Every structure is written in C-alpha cells, then in structure tokens.
Amino acid sequence: MFKKILATMLLVVATSFAHAEEIHKFDQVDWKPAGIKGVDMVILWGKESDNSAVYAFKIQPGVSIPAHIHSNDYWGVAVQGKWIHIDANGKKVISDQNSFVRVHGNDVHADSCVGPKACINIVDFDGARDLTFANASKK
C-alpha cells in the first residue's frame, strides 16, 4: 500500500514539473511606470478589460504612496522587500514574505517600502483596479 501511495505521489510531482513550461522572473518582466515616481507595475496574467488581471507592483526603497482608496477589495502578497501598509489611523503593518493582506474597498490607506531591496507585491483586485487619492476624494 505504501508503495502505491509513494508511486502516486511521485507521479503527481513529476507531472507538475512537466507542466511548468513557463517560468517568469520579476527582473525579466516589462515593468511600466505606475504614475508615481519609484512605483512600477505589470499585469502578470489576465486582462484589465474583463477585470481578471493580476498585477505586480514594484516600489523602490524609501518610496511612499500617499493615502488613497480603491473601489474594490484586494488581496496582496509581498514577494520581495518589506511592504508597509498604513491604515487611516496611521497604524503601520509590515508585510513581508510570510504574510498576505486583504484591503477592503473604500478603506483609506497608504503604502511604502522600507527596503533594502525594492518591494514587489502581487495584487489581485475583486473587480476593476482603480485608485483615488484621499485628499482628492474629499474635494
């Protein structure tokens, strides 16, 4: 019985490696400016047109994204660096490679990267991606 289980597990692992035909590295993707100096972005997969896009954002060390909101919730995973999430009350939470975050739509927050490397974050929005700076939304 153990041999059957082991053989099945090996077959599953071998099949998984056989299907890993495309491996992408973050230093090889086509980063585009995200509209804030020191912040770049790229669509990893999916399409903006049908809201299926999953994004990567690269924030340079020391760069901050001012307080803002998104209309929709999003999930975020830090894959490199120390990404700081700052809530509306100024509370700072560091997200690194052993954590992920959920940010609710219309929650005011800010982001920054403390380095020493650039922060790379994968972000998946529940719907369209948008951004409104908090001071602009009060006008």
| Global pTM value | 0.79
pLDDT, residue 18, reads 53
Q: For 56-93, write each residue's pLDDT tens digit.
A: 999 999 999 999 999 999 999 999 999 999 988 999 99
Nearest Cα to Cα of residue 69 among 36, 107, 104:
107
**Which of 2-11, 19-28, 108-117 is the most confident on average?**
108-117
pLDDT at 37 over 60: yes
Residues 6+ apart with CB under 8 A from 38: 59, 60, 62, 63
Instruction: Identify which has the larger pLDDT, 22 or 58.
Output: 58
What are the extents of the domains in the chain? 26-137
The side-by-side arrangement of strands in the sheet containing 119-125 is: 32-33, 39-45, 54-59, 119-125, 74-80, 100-103
Q: CATH class for domain 26-137?
A: mainly beta
Cα 88 from chain centroid?
A: 20
For residue 103, the SS3 value is strand
pLDDT higher for 48 or 21? 48
Question: How confident is the model over 5-16, as pLDDT tens digits?
Answer: 444 444 444 545
More confident residue, 114 or 8: 114
Single out the residue of 35, 40, 54, 59 nearest to residue 111, CA to CA: 59
Give the position of tokens 């700052």: 86
